[in-house]
Structure 1
Amino acid sequence: MFYQKKHRNFGQSALTRDRRSDKNKGSHLKGDAMNNKALVLFLTLCLVFLFFFNSCSGEKERDKQEAEAMETHKKILTVDTHCDTPMMLAEGEYDIGEMHGAGLERRGKIDLPRMKQGGLDAEFFAAFVAQGERTEQGYEKARERAGLLIKSIYDMCDKYPEMVSLATEPDDAYRLAEQGKIAAFIGLENGYPIGKDLALVEEFYNKGVRYITLC
C-alpha cells in the first residue's frame, strides 16, 4: 500500500512537473512572440524614420542644386542653336508673340513669352528647305522657299520689336540681352538653295544668315 501510494504520488508529482514545464514553455513562446513583434515594430519604425530623413535630405539637396543652377543660368548668355518655327511663321497661322500652352492645336515648341520665361537669350531661327531635284528649276524653287522663311523672321522682329530683334554678331546677343530682348539669329538649313552658284553664299550672308548646313 505504501509503495503504491508512494508510486502514485511520484506519478502525480511528475505529471505536475510536466504541466508546469509545458506552462513555462508556453510562457516562453508567448514571450518570444511578443519580443519578435516588438523587434519587427522597432525595425519598421527605424526604416520609416530613415526613409523620411533621406527624403527630406534629398529634397533639400535638390532645392540647393536647382537654386545654384538658376543662379548660374541668370549669369550666362543662353543660346538655342536651332528651331524650325519659321516654317509655321511663313504659313501665317502661328502667332509667336502669344504664349501657347499644352493641349492647343498647332501649339508649336516655342514662342517669345515662353522664351523669356525660360531665360533664353538668343535663338537661331532655321530657314529649312527640303531637298528636291538638282535642276535649275529645283534650285530656283528652293531659293524662293528660303527667301520666304527668312522674310518670316524679319516680319516677326518687325511685329514684336519690344521682345525680339535681329542679330548678326555675338555682341548683338549681349547687347539685346541687356535690353531685355531676345536675339534672333538666322540659319539656313540645307545648302540646296545655293545650287551651283557659290556667289549666293554672300547673298544669304547679307540677308542675315550666319550658318548654312550641308543638308
Structure 2
Amino acid sequence: MQAKFTLIALIVACVLIIGCTNTQTQALIPVNESTKEAAQRIAKENIIVDGHVDVPYRVEANWVDVTQATDKGDFDYPRAIAGGLDAPFMSIYVPASLDNSVESTVLANRLIDSVEAIVGRAPDKFALAYSVNDVQNNFKEGKISLPMGMENGSPIQGSLDTLQHFYNRGIRYITLAHSQSNHISDSSYDLRRQWKGLSPFGKTLIGEMNNLGIMIDISHVSDDAFYQTIELSKAPVIASHSSLRRFTPGFERNMSDDMITKLAENGGVIMINFGSGFVSPAARMWRDKMGEKRQSLIATFGEDSQQVSDFNDQYKQENPYPFASLDMVLDHIDHVAELVGIDYIGIGSDYDGVGDSLPTGLKDVSTFPNLVEGLLKREYTEGDIKKILNENLLRVWAAVETQTQRE
C-alpha cells in the first residue's frame, strides 16, 4: 500500500514539474543566454512590423538609395537588417497644405511609385506586401516587406473610385486626416472642427474601407472623429503611430485612456510612436514653449524677419532639447498593457518622420533589439513580445481582410 501511494505521489509531482516547466519556457529565456543575446535572437527570429516609417517622403525631398547604407535619416537596408525590421509600413504622406488640390493625389501616386522603385532596385532585399500572407511569405524568403499606408486621406478627393485606385496600388491603411481638417475628418491639431468629427463623406468612407479591406487609422484625428469611427467601423481600427495622453496632458494627438479602452473593445491596436514629444512631458513642454516664443516674435517683427529666421537655432542652443529615453517609451507600453492587456499594443515608430527628436537608445531602425531587451528586463514574456512586434497588428490586418470576404 505504501508503495502504491509513493508511486501516485511521484506521478503527481512529475505532472506538476512538467506543467511548471512548460509555463516557464513561455516566460523565461534560456539560462545560458544573456538578456542582450535573447533580445537579438527574438528580433531576428520574429517578424517586426512597424506601423509608420516616412521613407517615401524623405527620399522625395532628398533622394538617397535606401537599398544601400545612407549617411542620414533613420532607415536603410543595412540598418533594417541589423535591427531585425521586417515589415515597415511605408507612409504615403501628403502634407495638409495640399488638401483640396489635385496635387495631393499626384504626390500620393508619385510616392507609391518611389516604394515600387525601391523594390525594383533591390528585389533580392525588398518586396511589396499587399496582405498578411505576403508579409509572412516575404519573411520566409528573407526579404523585407514594404506594405503601404496613406497618411492623410486628402488624395481620395471625395471619390470612392479613387479609393479603389489606391487600394489597387497597395494602400492598406489610411490615416483619415493629418494636421488640418480635410474633406473626411477633423484633425486633432485643427481647432476649427468643421465637421464635429467625421464629414458625411467620411462616414461613408468608413464602410467602404471596411468593404475593400483597408485598415482605418485614427492617428491624427480629433476625439469626436475617433469615437464616431469606432461606432461605425465593422472591423478593428488602428492608431498607426500614436502614444498616450496620460504622459502628455493636453496633447490631443495622443490617445486618452478612455480612447484606448474603446480601441481595445473594438479589437484594434495602438502602435506606440517613439518621438520624444509623443512620450516625454518635458519634450512636449519644450516644443510648446518654443512655439509660443516663435509666435510672439512673428507678432512683433513679422514672419519674414531676421529675428524669426534666427530663432530656432538660437532657442535650441540656449535650451537643449530634452530627449526622451527608451524607458519612457517602455512606460507607454506598460500602461497600455496594464489598462487593456498585451493584445492591443504595437510599434509605430515614426522613423524618418519626427526629425532629430528620437529617444536615446532608439535613434534608428537598427535599435529594435534595444526595445526588445527593455521589454525582457521588464519581465515581458517572449510570447508577449511577439504580440507587440507583429502578432497584434497582423491579427487586425487579417480581421480586416476577413471582413472584406464577408461583404
TM-score by length of structure 2 reads 0.34
Match of 1:207 in 2: 169
Count residues with an aligned counterpart: 146
Q: 2-side partners of 1:129 and 1:95: how far apart?
A: 21
The alignment partner of 2:79 has SS state of: helix
Gaps of 5+ in 1: 1-60
Structure 1 position 116 matched with structure 2 position 44: no
Give CA deviations for 1:34-80 in whole Å, capped at 9, x if unaligned: xxxxxxxxxxxxxxxxxxxxxxxxxxx9x722222223223321111
Contact 2:98 2:104 in 1 (8 A): no
My pick for the range that moved more, 204-213 or 168-177, is 168-177
Question: Where does residue 196 of structure 1 map in the other structure?
Answer: 158
- The amino acid of 2:55's aligned partner reads T
**How far off its partner does 1:109 sit?**
0.8
Indicate the structure whose relative CO is greater, using CA pairs within 8 Å and at least 6 residues apart.
2
Q: Tell me which of 64, 69, 90 is aligned to 2:39.
A: 69
1:169 aligns with 2:131: yes
Structure 1 122/150 Cα, relative in aligned 2: closer, same or farther at 3 Å? Answer: same
Residue 85 of structure 1: aligned partner: 55
Q: Which amino acid aligns with 2:124?
A: E
Q: Distance in 2 between matches of 1:121 and 1:184?
A: 8
CA deviations 1:112-133 (Å, max 9, x no partner) are 1111121111110011001136
Give the counterpart of 2:65 among 95, 101, 108: 95
How many angstroms apart in 2 are the aligned matches of 1:73 and 1:93? 29
What corresponds to 1:149 in structure 2?
Answer: 111
Distance in 2, matches of 1:112 and 1:67, equals: 22
1:189 maps to a residue whose letter is E
Equivalent residues in 2 for 1:123-138, closer than 5 Å: 123-132=88-97, 135=100, 138=101
Q: State the AA in 1 paired with 2:53.
A: C
Alignment partner, residue 315 of structure 2? none
Q: Identify the residue that residue 186 of structure 1 maps to in structure 2.
A: 148
Taking a change above 3 Å as real, the CA distance of residues 125 and 134 of structure 1, as seen in their structure-2 partners, is closer
Contact 2:130–2:172 (CA under 8 A) maintained in structure 1: yes
> Deviation string for 1:60-117 (max 9, x for gaps)?
x9x72222222322332111111111013234621101212xxx4xx11100111112
- State how far apart, in whole Å, the 2-side matches of 1:122 and 1:169 are: 11
Larger Rg: 1
Give the Cα–Cα distance (whole angstroms) in 1 for the partners of residues 81 and 53 of structure 2: 15
- Write the letter of the residue equivalent to 1:147: N
Question: Any conservation in 1 of the 2:127–2:143 contact (CA below 8 Å)?
Answer: yes
> Amino acid of the residue matched to residue 81 of structure 1?
G
Between Structure 1 and Structure 2, the one with more helix by share is: 1
Where does structure 2 lack aligned partners over 5 or more consecutive residues?
A: 1-30, 178-407
Deviations 1:121-159 (A, max 9, x none): 111001100113654xx1x11000101111000011101
Identity %: 32
Cα drift, residue 164 of structure 1: 0.2
- In the alignment, the residues of structure 2 paired with residue 95 and residue 114 of structure 1 have an alpha-carbon distance, to the nearest angstrom, of 13
Residues 149 and 134 (structure 1 numbering): CA distance in 2 closer, same or farther, change over 3 Å?
Answer: closer
State the SS of the aligned residue for 2:147.
strand
Residues 64 and 133 from structure 1, CA distance in 2 versus in 1: closer, same or farther, beyond 3 angstroms? closer
Give the residue type in structure 2 aligned to 1:122: A
Q: What is the alpha-carbon distance in structure 1 between the residues aligned to residue 97 and residue 148 of structure 2? A: 22
* Cα distance in 2 for residues equivalent to 1:68 and 1:115: 18
